[in-house]
Amino acid sequence: MLGGSYKLITFDCYGTLIDWVGGIRHGLSSLLAGAGVSVSTDALYEAYLRADAELEKPPWRSYAEVLQQAVVELGRRFGFEVNEHNRRALVDSLPSWAPFADTNEALKRLKRRYRLAVLSNIDRDLFTHTARHFAVDFDWVVTAEDVRAYKPAPHHFERICELSGYGSGDMLHAAQSLYHDIVPCTRLGRDCVWINRRGEANNTGAAPMAELANLTALADALGA
């Protein structure tokens, strides 16, 4: 069981609640199918991750712009034409990115006991599409568009305190990404749980309160 008298559980969305990797890889596969070049999806995905990380650095740009500019970078890298249609391949695929199988049942359990919030590197309008996949309504949603910054910058974590009126000790953050969430939480002294869906090694020095395989394990650990 996790200790602490938490009032609010905050979540990263894409990668923690939503299968971001599956969504990105499916979008990239569709892009590749129409590109007329021979590149593995794995190579395209690894190149996408590098482009995404660079594009999320200041100055801030919308996540829709990040996704589109990443496709432009991939076209340059792998030598395929980027037109208006395929430039939007990832943006247009995002509404279909699905929750993990455990997400909604765990959220329903947690909602009975806690207030819930999303802290996400996303645009408001894009999250509206994703919200339709969830079986609960979140009490608060903080997007990159709201704070004009992307995690691991601290702005999301600061804004949720302002919106909710809760102190950092009243909150527990749950996330899959070490880089975007667990490392900054550790730096800020925030309680956090690593949802290690992909069985990764933690070589960052970040210290989550617990490492759990999925959200079902989180609901169990919180006695929800």
Active site residues: 12
CA distances (Å), 77 to each of 24, 55, 84, 86, in order?
18, 15, 18, 15
Find out whether 173 and 158 touch, Cβ atoms under 8 Å.
no
Cβ-in-10-Å burial (0-12, 13-18, 19+) of 212 comes to buried
Residue 173, SS3 per DSSP: strand
Going by the DSSP 8-state scheme, the letter that residue 76 receives in this structure is H
Q: Which amino acid is at 11?
A: F
Those residues whose C-beta lies under 8 Å from the C-beta of residue 86, and which sit 6 or more positions away, are: 31, 34, 35, 71
